[in-house]
Amino acid sequence: MSRIRIRFTKRGKVRFTSHRDVARIWERTLRRVELPVARSQGFSPRPKLHFGLALSTGHESDAEFLDVDLVDGASVDLDTLPARLTAALPGGLAATAAAEVDPSAPSLQHAVTSSRWEIEVLDLDLPTLQARAEALLAAPELVMVRQRKGKDVTDDVRPHLFTLQPTTPLDGGALLVAELGTLGRALRPSELLTLLGEEAREGKVCRTHQFTEHDGTRSEPLAAPTDGPPPRAAATAAALADRPSPAPHAEARAS
Amino acid sequence: MSSVWPRLEPILPRVAKPARYIGGEDGAQTPEHHPAKVAWLLGYPDTYEIGLPNQGLQILYEILNERADAVAERTYAPWSDLEAELRAHDVPLFSVDTHRPASDFDILAFNISAELTYTNVLAMVDLAGAPVRSADRCVDDLFIGAGGHCTYNPEPIAAFLDFVVLGDGEEAVGEISEALAAWKARRAAGDEVTRLDALVALAGVTGVYVPALYEADQDADGRLLGTRSVHPAAPDEVEKRTITDLGEWPYPKNQLVPLTEVVHDRLNVEVFRGCTRGCRFCQAGMITRPVRERPADQVRTMVADGLRRTGYDEVALTSLSTADFSGIEAVVGGIVDGDVPSRPDDDGGQGPGTSLDCGGGMGGLASDISVSLPSLRVDAFTVGIAAEIQRARRTGLTFAPEGGTWRMRQVINKLISEDDLFGAVESAYSQGWRRMKLYFLIGLPTETDEDTLGIATLARKVVEIGRRHHKNPSVTISIGGFVPKPFTPFQWFGQNTREELARKVGLLRDELRRDRGVALKWHDPKATTVEGIMSRGDRRLAPVIEDVWRHGGTFQEWSEHFDLQLWLDALDRNGLTVEELVYRHRLEDEALPWDHLSAGLHKDFLWQDWRDALDEVGLEDCRWTPCYDCGACTGYGIEHVVASAVPPAGGSQGTGRPTAVPVTLGSRPMATTS
């Protein structure tokens, strides 16, 4: 059996579809391009697709990933696959890269350690946003009560706060580039917003990267093509080059 | 072009399931509007999830957009959270295709399939910015139209509608477009035209009923004496439209593929329209006559093209009683085996070496495709094929005996013997099915407690049969309260009171309390009562429906929103009673609110069939036997279009011979949802 990994983007109106909706869209799309997808056994065989971290309904992304198991002996032209997939996907969803991956490697859900986000922050001016972001990064711990599976849980979310880079997008306002840890009970962008103060409202949110760490080397599960969409903020490009400064007790997050 | 999207976008993160409002489906169109074209906004008065799959709406959407003189977009009822936001931010009803405001259109036309959606129609008309009553609309306002099964008695909502289309809409929408385009052209040329001019033009289209051109006379007690035309352009009787050849209408050609989950989320291909089985409770089977089959080759092509285009792995062959389709076995077998017309070579899509093991054509898909036959009559053949077609995903099987005893089934003309049912159940269990669903109606004419309890007896025997094959077989008994419908032999029958329906449900609950393996579900008798109010109601109901809407009574078919008290209070305020409107038997010489409309059926045929029902006399299917002159064919000079001159294996019903049982694979049979 072989496995291929697909990188895709989710932009525009289609961002209002749910993670589950996108999974169903992918099932149909893979059938439309007649990809020889392996299927599970049993009474209700399903195509063997493995999705990465769920993206909240309403958020955009340039860095979504999907692993697809192929039937034995199948071979696929990976060079043309992204274009064929994009043509079969609904508007707003586009495949940007495809590559074969080792089926025995850890799943996307386990391998990804952090996501980088561009978060449009409404009703907060840039200096205030900068001050609050600095305060959050300076805090030794950030205990918050969150809902998980219908229950209130109390966590220190500081270990999930890798970097916070307030900046000004091209069209004005305040944009926060944040890298947030994803292992364990991850910190969601909407939860980060609540830490920034009551008046801070969430505007558009876009996941720009997901990162894995292997033997101290950071990389994306599958790199975006070099001629991808330009970053939305001038400052973002600079921020990307920075190594994230790990949180004071980042070691604890893996538990 | 104008779009409400910039105002809608910031609202959507705050509402449930925002994907319902974004459009973007595969198959969606972005038609080019033009002042000379008639712009239709096709509405379904329920949520997107319920309305999107509606085939009638999708068919008209395509037909209209193919015309040079019309464009069509779609809209669905915004859920209560979005409706509140739209009102708070002064955003009107919009199309999901291009997010145009409703006021950009000429016509807002609804498909109305359920009585409990009537208040949603008002909510949507109001959100669209038009006065809810036809009489209050001016020359600039939207024309509000309606079609669909409920409009065979449009009188309860007549005051809100400018026009109603009876029967098949394929041809009528074109003629309506022409009539309105001519009116618009006169207006654009500076002629003095009135709204009445347009209504009069619409009344000239066969199959179109313009309520404003009719008046209902009442006696001193308010009971209907008759409905008569008060304008020379309005015919005394409005005849339904019937297309003679389904093969000429291979729609939808591009079925919409939604981005979010909807009901019946699969490819749907209509294989025939109409049904002459003659079940007396079934309005769909009466008003859609005669039977018109789609050519089998066209079915195969539509299935193959549709699966390829959409990526669905399930196709439903839709109709009433689908196994009656001539050659159903060959068609289903062909789909399952992937033996369908092969894909035309397309050089762009697949280069060499891009996919292996597919073998070209549908070979790679075939084993993944499951076929659903809603409303399938089971006999030896169909259970065999059922095992075959459901091999991809074997879920539950649904049978619809409708009546608990042989006597009851004779009354409703659904002559299924116990042996037929048990034989079919035995076959299904032996083929590996574990879950069985049985649909029944309660509150049928002449029903006794013995008939009601017969449902429990049947359920028990089905579980017993299941135990021979499985450890824990389960049977779900689903009970619906019977609502008499216009243009059926039961249109004269006084509906059971909600107390009586609740008592019968209680009887069954008590009876089945200790039976493991039998689960009982039932439709709320209170909702059944409200359906009954409108099913055979008259024009006196307009203020009642408006009252319920003004008191917040939308989404009444959703249990979390349904409120019987809203309806009872509104009836009370208007001096009406449930007893008069719902529970009362109608008399032979009594005027019925739909007497000025025609579904093609002779009233004396229906009356005779009603008397036969009370005498427990069955009636054979006329497709393969001599004509009873019901009127559906002869009145229009058309005939059944049936490829096979003989009934399918298992024989026809109404004869008392050993015969077939209707069965549904996966979803509720159409015959019982009418």
Identity of the residue in B21, B257, B261 whose CB atom sits nearest the CB atom of A28: B257
Report the residue from A14, A32, A76 with minimal CB separation from B354.
A76
At B670, the amino acid letter reads M
Contact A88 B25 (CB under 8 A): no
Cβ–Cβ of A74/B356 closer than 8 Å?
yes
Confidence of residue B375 (pLDDT cuts 50, 70, 90): low
Q: What is the pLDDT of residue B359?
A: 27
Structure tokens at B225: 């004496």
What tens digit of pLDDT does each residue of B48-78 get? 999 999 999 999 999 999 999 999 999 999 9
Please list every residue in chain A whose beta carbon sits closer than 8 Å to the beta carbon of residue B368: 31, 39, 45
Cα–Cα distances (Å) from A2 to A5, A99, A101, B489, in that order, read 10, 11, 8, 62
Task: Respond yes or no on whether the N-terminal peptide bond of residue B13 is cis (omega within 30° of 0).
Answer: no
Give the CA angle between residues B577, B583, B588 to the nearest 5°: 110
How are strands ordered across the β-sheet holding B396-402?
A: B376-378, B661-665, B396-402, B435-442, B474-481, B518-522
Q: Are strands B208-209 and B163-165 parallel, antiparallel or unpaired?
A: antiparallel
* Closest by Cα among B395, B237, B245, B239 to B314: B395
Q: How far is A96 from chain B (nearest CA, A)?
A: 18
Q: Would you say how long chain A is, in residues?
A: 255
User: Looking at chain B, which residue has its C-alpha nearest residue A122?
Assistant: B10
B311 versus B363: the higher-pLDDT residue is B311
Q: Which residue of B has its CA nearest to A21?
A: B260
Q: Whole-prediction pTM value?
A: 0.90
d(CA B546, CA A76): 60
Q: Is A160 exposed, middle or buried (0-12, 13-18, 19+ CB in 10 A)?
A: buried
| Burial grade of B510 (CB within 10 A; 0-12, 13-18, 19 or more) | exposed
pLDDT at A98 over 70: yes
Of A17, A45, A91, the CB nearest to B19: A17
First-to-last alpha carbon distance for chain A, in angstroms, is 32
- The pLDDT tens digits of the residues spanning B207-241 come to 999 999 999 999 999 999 999 999 999 999 999 99
Of B436, B302, B322, B424, which is closest to residue B373 (Cα–Cα)? B322
C-alpha distance from A130 to closest chain B C-alpha (Å):
25
- Give chain B positions within 8 Å (CB) of A85: none
* A-B C-beta contacts closer than 8 Å: 95
The angle subtended at Cα B429 by Cα B415 and Cα B661, nearest 5°, is 15
- Dist. CA B668–CA B671, nearest whole Å: 8
What mean pLDDT comes out for the span B540-563? 97
Comparing alpha-carbon positions, the chain A residue that sits nearest to B265 is A24
- Write the ipTM: 0.88
Shortest alpha-carbon distance between residue A123 and chain B (Å): 14
State the virtual CA torsion across B458, B460, B464, B469 in degrees, nearest 10: 80
Percentage of residues of chain B with pLDDT beyond 70: 88
For residue A206, which residues of chain B lie inside 8 Å, CB to CB? none
Whether the pLDDT of residue B136 is over 90: the answer is: yes
Q: What is the pLDDT of residues B399-440, one digit of tens each?
A: 888 999 999 999 999 888 888 888 888 878 887 778 888 999
pLDDT in tens, A172-208: 789 999 999 999 889 999 999 999 999 999 999 999 9
Whether B81 contacts chain A with CB within 8 A: no
Query: CA B671 to CA B439: how far, in whole Å?
Result: 11
- Minimum distance, in Å, between the CA of residue B61 and any CA atom of chain A: 20
Q: B356 and A90: CB-CB below 8 Å?
A: no
- A43/B259 CB distance under 8 A: no
- Which residues in chain A are contacts of B350 at CB distance < 8 A? 34
Cβ–Cβ under 8 Å, residues B275 and B289: yes
Q: Which residues contact A171 (CB under 8 A, 6 or more apart)?
A: none
User: Residue A95 forms beta bridges with which residues?
Assistant: A8
> B7 near B89, Cβ under 8 Å?
yes
